[in-house]
Every structure is written in C-alpha cells, then in structure tokens.
Amino acid sequence: METSIAQLTDPATLFQLALPYLVQVAGAIFIFFIGRLLARLLVAALRRSMVRAQADDTIVEFVGTVAHVILMVFVVIAAMSQLGVKTTAAAAIVGGGALAVGLSLQGQLSALAAGVMLILFKPFRKGDFVEAAGQFGTVEAVRIVNTLLVTTNNQEVTIPNNQVWASPITNYSARDTRRMDLTVSISLDGDVDRAKTVLQEIVDTDSRVLAEPPPAIRVNAITESSVDILFRPWLQRPEFWDAYWDTVEAIKKRFDAEGIPFAHQRRFVHMTAPDRDTA
C-alpha cells in the first residue's frame, strides 16, 4: 500500500514506520551494553582465578586485556547483526582490519610474543642483575613489549623483548653462590709454591669465602713470560663484588710484601739489517 504525502507528515504514521527500526536500534544498544557488562564480569572472574593460581601480575594483565578485546569483538558483531548487518561481512571486515594492523605492527607483535615467553618462562625477575641483548643491569620491570634495566651507573635502558628473547641471557642473581675467577700471573723465576701458599692464606683469612666448595688454586699455564695460577674461591652472591675488590687489592699487597714478582709482558722486536745494494 502506497503512503501518501499526508500520511508521511502524520506523527502517528511516522512512528509506525520508524518503530521497526527503533526496535532494532534499541535491541542493538541493549545487546552492546549487556554484552559489555558480561564481558567485564567474565574478564574479572578470569583475573581473579589467575590471581588465586598465583600467576604473574603481567600475565594476569595481558590475558585479561586480550580476553576483553576478543569478547568485545563478539559483542560488536552481535549488535551489528541485530541492526541487520550480515555477520559474515562484519567478520570479514574485522578479519581484514586485524590483518592490516598485524602487518603494520609486525615488530611490536614480535616483541609482544617475546614478552609473553619471558613472562611465562621467567629467565629473570625484577631485581635480578642480568646481561640481556648485550646490556648489563638490574631488572626494573618486565613489560609486555619491553624490559627495563637500570645500569650500575643508574641509567635506564629499555630493550624490546624480541631482542631480549633472541639473545643469550645471563642471570647473575639466579644462584645463591658465585665463583670468583682470577688468573694471577707471576714471573717465570717466581716461587710458585710460595705464591700458592699466599693465595691460600688470603682466602683462609677472609670469612666471606665459603669452605664448600673449596677454593681452587692451581697452576694453569706456563707461557713465554709467566706462570699463570688459577684462583677460584666461592662466595655468597650479595658479597661477591666487595670480596672481589678486596681480594685483588690483598693479592697485590701480599705479593709485594713477600717479594713475589708479577709477570711483565714481553715484547720482542726483530730488526733486520737492510740490503746494502738497496740501501
């Protein structure tokens, strides 16, 4: 039945014509807000369950954010379906948009994936002193896309997680004990037995040196200019650097007092007389 111009100007007729569309819009709004509320409740429940399972805070935040985004995508598609939009077309649009975003953010997504691996496998934690991606420092924070280190001179270094994960990671704080690795080189005419005795006395008088495992003091090599003695005491990790510096100083002072000569690097210069015919 055709609608006349008079009918179109009638409020009652206009309301009847718009009513189906108003119902669709109201339904879409209802679905969106109820869906958003349910998504929040589900994500909150998921986060609570992960906290009870003692999951890392960064993992809880990351998983909660991803779950919320996924649920909201379904909510939006459902609301669009209520408006009469074909869900297959909406899904194709969402998929195409996700692909475009993924291609433009490949580096960031790689860092994000590496951040998830770092959080899951925990090669280091906050407060550990590490070497990662060629940088030394104390771990200040492990974020989703980057790791923050504080260097020994109190500078902040931010490293993308894909670089951290792709390189060897040395965690100096992972173990309670740490071995001091020194090579003490004395001259070829030096008293090896006396040098070893002095080194033993140094560790015996330092209460920070652990009895177990016992320190290793061994002749390791004889070169053209030196006898190299390995010096390997074990210490508790928090005391390592103070003990290291004190030990190096003690070796210098004791060897000087005992008259044990340190090795000096020798350089040999070979000079050849020029040919008289070409001189």
Identify the pLDDT of residue 267: 60
User: Taking the domains of the chain in order of start, what are their residue ranges?
Assistant: 16-104, 123-171, 177-258
Identify the pLDDT of residue 25: 82
Identify the pLDDT of residue 273: 62
Q: For residue 253, what are the CA distances in angstroms to 129, 133, 181? A: 31, 38, 19
Residues 6+ apart with CB under 8 A from 211: none
User: Are residues 123 and 171 in contact, defined by beta-carbon separation less than 8 angstroms?
Assistant: yes
Among the CATH numbers 3.40.50.360, 3.20.19.10, 1.10.287.1260, 3.40.630.30, which is that of 16-104?
1.10.287.1260
123-171, which class in CATH? mainly beta
CATH topology classification for 177-258: Alpha-Beta Plaits (3.30.70)
Identify the pLDDT of residue 50: 79
Threshold 0.75, pTM exceeds: no
Per-residue pLDDT of the chain (279 residues; tens, 9 = 90+): 455 555 555 666 655 666 677 777 888 888 889 989 998 999 899 888 878 877 766 677 777 777 888 888 888 888 888 777 766 655 665 665 555 545 444 556 777 788 878 878 889 988 999 999 999 999 998 887 889 999 999 999 999 999 999 999 999 999 999 999 999 999 999 999 999 999 999 999 999 999 999 999 999 999 999 999 999 999 999 999 999 999 999 999 999 999 999 998 666 555 666 655 554
